[in-house]
């Protein structure tokens, strides 16, 4: 186990090794194994890089970050400008569904909310705005929806048809791609068709239902 002095030396060395950080402006203190970073940085991206650099050091299990982001000159932007920039970069991020992420900016601090299907989409959204000029912080409050199971969708359809005293769902096929559900196969009437689609929509996590079912002749 490293002493506080050893840990301080290692964190300081790691900060100096990180090219995106002005290590001379960052103070490192260690007490009882807790690392505290203090000082001033020019951007939130630099603050983030400093945090990640310190976390890479073996033995750092607890950390307090007291770094202040002080924007200077052209780095200063209004919240409206930052909001437009964030919306633009999210719109051009191909892995994000349109409109999935909502943006709020206050004092340069960006808060992201909304729902996505995968954790990598949540991470991509935060990463894409972190380096934008004028951003002083990012709160990632995006929720990851639970994955959709074809078994769960099929079970819901069968239960709904049973409750409605309609023929079994054996002739309905369910295909799931992400949060999109496609229903195909044969149903006896429009009531069965509507019950099946409503059941699919009622399954947690379903974002879109494609009805390719046909009526039996």
Q: Where are the domains of the chain?
A: 4-70, 76-144, 150-215
Reported as a pLDDT band with limits 50, 70 and 90, residue 168 is low
pLDDT for position 89: 96
According to CATH, what is the number of the domain 150-215?
3.30.300.130
Whole-number Å distance between alpha carbons of 148 and 171: 21
Average pLDDT, integer, range 133-148: 88
pLDDT of residue 165: 61
Give the H or E element holding residue 169: none
Q: Are 34 and 62 in contact (CB under 8 A)?
A: yes
CB count, 10 Å around CB of 50?
Answer: 26
The dotted CATH code for 76-144 is 3.30.1340.30
- As beta bridge partners, residue 106 has 109
Contact (Cβ atoms closer than 8 angstroms) between residue 125 and residue 140: yes
Beginning with the edge strand found earlier in the chain, give each strand of the sheet holding 62-69 in spatial order: 26-31, 34-41, 62-69
Contact predicate 147/121, CB 8 Å? no
- Quick one: pLDDT at residue 114? 94
Q: What is the pLDDT of residue 164?
A: 63
Domains 4-70 and 76-144 in one fold: yes
pLDDT interval class at 80 (50, 70, 90):
very high
Tell me the average pLDDT across 22-43.
Answer: 95
The pLDDT value given to residue 50: 96
- As a whole number of angstroms, the distance between CA 202 and CA 157 comes to 9
pLDDT score of 166: 59
Tell me, what's the pLDDT at 83?
96
> Does 182 score more than 80 pLDDT?
yes
**CATH no., domain 4-70:** 3.30.1340.30
pLDDT for residue 183? 87
Q: Give me the chain's average pLDDT, please.
A: 88
Rounded to two decimals, what is the model's pTM? 0.67
d(C-alpha 114, C-alpha 102), whole Å = 6
pLDDT of residue 152: 77
Return the percentage of the chain with pLDDT > 70, whole number.
96
Angle, helices 119-130/44-55, rounded to nearest 10 degrees: 130
């Amino acid at each position: 186990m490293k002493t506080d002095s050893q840990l301080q030396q290692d964190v300081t060395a790691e900060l100096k090794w990180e090219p995106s950080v002005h290590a001379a402006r960052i103070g490192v203190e260690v007490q009882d194994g807790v690392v505290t970073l203090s000082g001033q940085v020019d951007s939130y991206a630099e603050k983030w890089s400093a945090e990640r650099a310190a976390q890479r050091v073996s033995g750092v299990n607890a950390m307090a970050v007291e770094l202040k982001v002080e924007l200077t000159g052209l780095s200063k932007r209004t919240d409206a400008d930052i909001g437009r920039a964030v919306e633009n970069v999210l719109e051009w991020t191909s892995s994000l569904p349109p409109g999935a992420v909502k943006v709020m900016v206050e004092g340069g601090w960006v808060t992201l909310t909304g729902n996505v299907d995968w954790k990598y989409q949540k991470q991509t959204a935060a990463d894409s705005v972190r380096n934008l000029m004028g951003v002083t912080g990012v709160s990632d409050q995006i929720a990851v929806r639970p994955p959709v199971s074809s078994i769960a969708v099929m079970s819901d359809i069968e239960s709904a048809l049973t409750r409605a005293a309609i023929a079994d769902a054996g002739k309905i096929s369910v295909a799931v791609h992400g949060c999109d559900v496609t229903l195909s196969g044969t149903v006896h009437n429009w009531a069965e068709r509507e019950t099946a689609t409503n059941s699919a929509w009622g399954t947690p996590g379903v974002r879109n239902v494609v009805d390719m079912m046909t009526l039996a002749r």
